[in-house]
Chains A and B, each alone.
Chain A
Amino acid sequence: MRIYLEIARLAIHQQLAYRAATLAGLFTNSVFGVILGSVMLGFYGSVEGDCVNGWSPDDAITLIWINQSLLVVMYLWGWWDVSRTIQTGAIASDFLRPISWYGLWLSRDFGRALPAIFLRMVPTLAIGWLLFDISLPATPARGLWFLIAVILGVWVSFSIRLLSNLLAFWLIDHRGLAAVWLTLTTFLSGMAMPIAFFPEPLRTIAELLPFQAVLMSPINTWLGKGDPLLIIAVQMIWIVALVILCSIALKRGERRLVVQGG
């Protein structure tokens, strides 16, 4: 266990080194928070009454800003580190390490995500609160559930990413896949609007996919929508299911792996 904590600690140090990038990232998140938040309020301005499919304007604005704040924490997009090791063959030496291959990447990813919670999530939420008056968790318990759902969301996100990275065993060039992936995950995770706005059957499909366990789960705990225990349980089920899928993909992929070198 100590070795994994050490890997995570190194990843944290790596993150803390980029201060200018953090500020630039906060700026970007805020710009998009303002744009998407204004569009959302603009739409709400056109309806009589307050709620749309159970979502008040405050809820929807809060969703927009939580999504912006979790963008880097979850890192659903543009993470192809593992597929790169498959392409270069470096994965072979990763397998030779005396530690678990899965544990290596998981601890690296938590080392990446944990500083992002303090450096990106918290400040972005604060900016959203200042500029758009987003609603805060109504009770301390909700805040706590939110934190748990964020941590589990990172794990779900990591598992989804790992699985898609392992596709590199079968594909030579992942860039096309990456673009499709980026779009579908963005859409199905509830990035632009709550999944509750989707028309049927899209809504049911989105609810049955793991992407909602990345962003919607923390958001729902924050806003007090649904039973937090159930939300957390669903996240855990996804983690287990994805770990199993990843290990199947890894076993099959290993057999295909050809490392050239000399």
Chain B
Amino acid sequence: MDWQQELGLTWRIAKLRIAAQMQFQGSFLMQLFGNSIMTIMEIVTVVIFFQQFPALGGWTLDEVLLLYAMCAIAFEIADTMQNGLDLVPEQVRTGDFDRLLTRPISVYLQAITLDISVRHIGKTILAFGLFCWAWLRLDLALTSETLLLLTSAWICGIALFIAIFTLGAIVSFWTVGSIEVVNAISYGGSDLAQYPIHIYRRWFRTIFIWLIPIGFVIYYPTLIILDKPDPLGFAPIAPAIGPLLTIAFVALVSLLWRQGVNHYHSTGS
């Protein structure tokens, strides 16, 4: 089977999963609302902070909200797409993962489409709305350069977050224990990237700039678009090095995924 057929099949699976969720409309709407209110309260928290304080690391409310939205768009899209990976640890534990290995399409694509959580769509729309609102308030111009920066930020951001979520599934091939550590990196990573990364201590931000390049991928494009002072001094190299580090990180994770699948021994009686 070639890759086009494979993607076509994956898309059909995804559509079925979405249709299945729509069957329970009341429950779906309630979850959609519940998820959206979470984002709304997070934004409210930022706004209240700015009522008490004039700036955060030299950034104004509108600027921080733009950064917040930049990160949230990438994170929410990634979170919508990755939901199936959350089910992998349970499948590995019970041995249900076997079924994925018997089918003739990519194990990873099957794993990622085990569940598509449409309920995250509300958060994605909210994040995009916030982005547009902050963009207009800041009176930013949409040039070909900013468009390129935005596209690269979102593509890299989505890839990076999905890769981090994948790490959680990979860990489960070796240990049945908690994957909470990986959750701390994914949810923590998105939380910390919603604020200007230079406010963190050196050792902490170094991890999230160089190792998990979320700083290069989200913070720097925003900083360049906003034309803010660059306290860390990586702005000239950021647009090039961000995608490179993302590719390296994704490559490493996909290597680990293969190792993990090979390591998987079914369970049974």
Binding site for B on A (CB under 8 A): 18, 20-21, 24-25, 27-28, 31-32, 34-35, 38-39, 41-47, 52-53, 173, 175-180, 182-184, 186-187, 192-193, 197-199
Contact = CB atoms under 8 A, between A and B. Distances in A.
Nearest to B33: A176
B178 A179 contact: no
B229 interface: no
A42 B188 contact: no
A39 B183 CA distance: 20
Contacts of A43: 49, 52-53, 56
Contact of A21 (B44, B51, B177): B177
Q: Which 6 A-B pairs have the closest CB atoms?
A: A176-B30, A179-B34, A42-B199, A28-B184, A24-B180, A46-B55
B204 to A, nearest CB: 6
B200 A38 contact: yes
A28 B33 CA distance: 27
B259 interface: no
A95 B54 CA distance: 56
Given A38-B200, A176-B27, A186-B41, A47 B191 contact: no
Contact of A25 (B26, B38, B180, B195): B180
B114 interface: no
B178 A21 contact: yes
Interface in B6-37: 24, 26-27, 29-31, 33-35, 37
Chain B residues touching A, majority SS: helix
A17 to B, nearest CB: 12
B181 interface: yes
A35 B31 CA distance: 28
Interface in B167-188: 175, 177-181, 183-185, 188
B214 interface: no
Interface extent on B, as a size class?
A: 35 or more
A194 B41 CA distance: 15
Given A43-B56, A52-B53, A173 B180 contact: no
Given A28-B184, A193-B45, A53 B38 contact: no
Given A20-B177, A35-B188, 18 more contacts: A21-B180, A24-B184, A32-B184, A47-B53, A52-B53, A173-B26, A175-B27, A176-B27, A176-B34, A180-B34, A180-B37, A183-B37, A187-B41, A187-B44, A193-B45, A193-B49, A197-B51, A197-B52
Contacts of A193: 45, 48-49
B199 A39 contact: yes
Nearest to A19: B177
B95 interface: no
B56 A42 contact: yes
Nearest to A132: B201
Interface string B38-62: 1001001100110111111110000
B48 A183 contact: no
A45 B59 CA distance: 12
B192 A28 contact: no
Contacts of B57: 42, 45-46
B181 A38 contact: no
